[in-house]
Chain A
Amino acid sequence: QLFGTQEVLPRIGKALVNPDGDGLISIFGPGGAGKTTLAYEAVKQFAGDGGFTRVAWVSAKLSHLRDLGVIETSRHTRTGWLDMIAEVAEQLDVRVDLHPARLEESLANALQSSIEIARPCLIVIDNLESAPDAQLAVDFLTRSPVLRPHKVVLTTRNSARLIAPTVREFAWHGLDSDAVREFAAYLAADTSGFELDDLDVDELISMSGGIPLLVKVAVRLAVHTSQPLRTVIDQVRNPGGELGSLVGQFLYEQSMTALAASAGVGDDNAIGLMNSFCARPDGESLNLEDFFELSLIADRAQFERARTTAHKLALIRGVDGNRRFTIHPLLRDFVCRG
């Protein structure tokens, strides 16, 4: 369920379904604001009305390759970009020449064939987190005849208008106060005895800055530890009593403590469980068997207990009907780069 998108979602939908409208649509905003969720909902609600017969969804996440200072960055970005183009072709079931020198042109030509023009597709390039990533995508999309009747949706951290004046942009900075209030009430609704008063919600709005993950983790932590929400938020204040820039980190620390303290989990299992996600790139999910092995938890029952508790604490997410598991990018940063 989405919160706070009543105004922006129909506008994105209108841009998607208009065949004469802009072919390149961008949703931009800070990390963790929920751009991916917004794009997903827009595609789910409007792709059919827009006449799109197929959707390709690729997660860019090219910037993780740039962590090591010794590695020449631009070439790596390029590598990731071309792999992504190949992935788009694969998802659309379009045959392309995979030679690096011909790949971009090959996809552009394929999408402009009469067969493909008759079957418009929607391409979502999610998580273009840095300016060079966005530049690569926009350069290709605006230079080549990829668009029309097809459309492309980008999610980026920064406005793409400077690099592509023709892009149709939608800013999304996360939940506003009313949306935080609604979301928190929704998260707490099924928990008997757990109350949220106005002061709790005001504190939550102030603490989270509208980042849905922080709202979710704080409420789930309060529910799991049976503490008032204000107590949880007090614990993540800095020594000066302020909610500083490290509030997310402090909140995750508290959640890890709660996970380790849960019955049948313990420190080692909590560490092993969360470290599993550092073995694969940002944005990847793990199947249950690999998750179990990577967690280094010896006993399957213990692993299941740890996994269930981490899920309740919003530290991990189940996808594909809980057959695969993943972690929010902000949490992954905390776990794997801390």
Chain B
Amino acid sequence: MSAEMAGDGASPSWAARLRAGRRERYWKTSTMLLLRDMEDLKGRELRGKIKDLIFWCDSSVADPEVIDAELFADFVDGMCRVVGNYGVIDGVAVEPALRRIIDLQESRRDTTTKLWLTLARFRSMISLEDDRREEALNAALESAPVGSALWAESVLAKAWYLNDISRYGDALRIVGRLRQAIPQELYDGYYACGADTMAGVALFTSFRDLGAARQKLTRACTFSKEADDDVQLRRWTATAHHYLGRIAEVDRDYPEALARYVQGHALQTRCPEELQSIAFIHLRMSEPLIALGYFDEAEDHLRTAAQVCSDYADYSSGRLQVQLGFATLDVAKGRTGFALQTIDATRNEARAIGYWRGELLCLGYKCAVLLRTRSVLRLVPVLLDIIMTMRGGELGRGNAARLLLRLPTVLGVAVRRMSFRPSRPLQPATTTGCPCRVHTPADAVAAGGPSA
């Protein structure tokens, strides 16, 4: 008896009929259920779904004819978020899967923009500065009609990438194109939020014009009401609040910084779970609290950030920055020696996992601490260490020029802490503590405590 035939020897076997039953509706139902889970679940439950997601991605690629490309792009985008959140160690199946679907779509002359954007998002998990990420973004831009919503999303994704790799001028230029090319109504009603956020981030991070950055980010925050019903708007406005907090910190308006971080956190937690963003908000909250002398509250936020970082496989500088946050707290408490030990331990850890940017960040911090304590003589070996790190790191891989260009940006994180260039007149610090919901519960706010 053949494996394909059974019973009377003429009808197809059940195995064959079962296979034939797994068609478009079956694929769509399973995909929708997984999308629902990615939206609804958090924490351990969501992490437990990673196995299912990768399995479904593999299965889908094995039978591309049954796939709805748009839905698959949504699925892979969600999967990238979850996998990026919790860290499956590599996503070797994801990229070939996406490329196969893109080929299939192109052969059908169907749209591929969303798929290219998803591929770019996936590549950003592997490395922020990544040629294939940029290629995918360019392909997304080319595949979408100029002025369409998909094109606008591609422009903003490219602007995010350009900010990620410190090409702030290019980010501002591409955001400028967006305003000119899409219909005014569409821009004003929706994409202005993303455009202003991206431009604000570029203007702040490059330290070009803090006043203009504040203006754009504040304008982005006017979409808060619309953001209630739209995840993308919530993400943009959460980012805008976050950066407004950072500008307030530069102005040493710590109560305003804290209020912005709290608002950003509230919006971020209403987005599908993005642990890295949440960890960074807690890290940022610790900074003004340290400056205001609320060390216990700052430590609470640092511990929360550390805990969130340890919940996912962190490829970014998040975890290291949290450890450096503890060092900053130690310096503020006058425990400079202990802080330097923490920085050295963090640097060793960065070196152990081959994270050269982290190593440079630690050295930048060390410079800042030594300058602050006026230990100028001890700076010399640190500067030599920086050069040695370059030799063993990027220089050894033939990227010396790129590294040298990036070095001021990496060191800038430390230098910015020490610099003080207010973008508007100083406000007296009048906060009475941390306004977050943990340190100032809602009932305390109602009773006249700090606003959350």
**Which A residues form the contact surface with B (CB < 8 A)?**
64-65, 67-68, 70-72, 75-76, 78-80, 82-83, 86-87, 90, 95-103, 238-239, 246, 249-250, 252-253, 256-257, 267-268, 271-272, 274-275, 278-281, 284, 290, 293-294, 296, 334-336, 338
Contact = CB atoms under 8 A, between A and B. Distances in A.
A206 B150 CA distance: 64
A102 B354 CA distance: 12
B89 A275 contact: no
Interface string B11-48: 00111111101100110011001000000000010011
Interface in B41-97: 44, 47-48, 50-52, 54-56, 58-59, 61-62, 86-90, 92-93, 96
Name which of B7, B18, B22 has the most chain A CB atoms within 10 A of its CB. B18
A140 to B, nearest CB: 15
A76 B92 contact: yes
B3 interface: yes
B311 A67 contact: no
Contacts of B92: 71-72, 75-76, 79
Given A238-B1, A250-B6, A256-B14, A279 B50 contact: no
A102 B22 contact: no
Contacts of A65: 54-55, 58, 93
Name which of A99, A267, A274 has the most chain B CB atoms within 10 A of its CB. A99
Given A72-B92, A79-B90, A98-B311, A338 B52 contact: no
Given A68-B93, A95-B310, A98-B311, A338 B15 contact: yes
Interface string B327-347: 000000000000000000000
Given A238-B1, A250-B1, A281-B55, A101 B352 contact: yes
Given A278-B18, A338-B15, 18 more contacts: A65-B54, A68-B61, A75-B92, A79-B89, A83-B51, A98-B311, A99-B313, A99-B353, A103-B313, A249-B15, A250-B1, A256-B18, A271-B18, A274-B18, A275-B26, A280-B55, A284-B51, A334-B15
A242 B121 CA distance: 56
Contact of B313 (A100, A239, A274): A100
Nearest to A278: B22
A143 B93 CA distance: 30
Contacts of B18: 256, 271, 274-275, 278, 335-336, 338
A8 B38 CA distance: 44
B29 A294 contact: yes
Contact of A252 (B14, B47, B87, B89): B14
A327 to B, nearest CB: 12
B26 A296 contact: yes
A275 B21 contact: yes
Nearest to B56: A279
7 shortest interchain CB distances as A-B pairs: A338-B15, A279-B30, A256-B14, A271-B21, A281-B55, A100-B89, A253-B6
Given A238-B1, A281-B51, A338 B16 contact: yes
B29 A257 contact: no
Question: Which label, helix, strand, loop or mixed, suits the secondary structure of the B interface?
Answer: helix
B314 interface: yes
B160 interface: no
Contacts of B50: 83
B14 A253 contact: yes
A252 B7 CA distance: 12
16 contacts: A68-B93, A76-B92, A79-B88, A79-B89, A99-B353, A100-B313, A101-B352, A238-B1, A250-B6, A253-B13, A257-B6, A272-B26, A275-B18, A281-B52, A284-B52, A296-B26
Interface residues of B, number: 47
B101 to A, nearest CB: 14
A219 B253 CA distance: 78
A253 B33 contact: no
B90 A338 contact: no
Given A257-B7, A279-B56, A296-B25, A290 B33 contact: yes
A267 B17 contact: yes
A86 B311 CA distance: 10
B215 to A, nearest CB: 39
A195 to B, nearest CB: 26
A80 to B, nearest CB: 8
A316 to B, nearest CB: 14
A89 to B, nearest CB: 11
A100 B87 CA distance: 8
A99 B21 contact: no
Given A68-B61, A98-B311, A293 B29 contact: yes
B161 interface: no
A72 B389 CA distance: 33
B168 interface: no
B365 interface: no
Nearest to B7: A257
Contact of A294 (B33, B54, B55, B352): B33
B243 interface: no
A99 B44 CA distance: 16
Contacts of A275: 18, 21-22, 26
B438 to A, nearest CB: 20
A75 B353 contact: no
Contacts of A284: 51-52
B122 to A, nearest CB: 15
B19 A338 contact: yes
Nearest to B27: A279
Contacts of B61: 68
A272 B93 CA distance: 27
Nearest to A274: B18
Nearest to A236: B1
Contacts of B353: 99, 101-102
A95 B86 CA distance: 14
B116 interface: no
A272 B6 contact: no
Contact of A67 (B22, B25, B47, B58): B58
A127 B312 CA distance: 26
A75 B19 CA distance: 28
B135 to A, nearest CB: 21
A280 B26 CA distance: 12
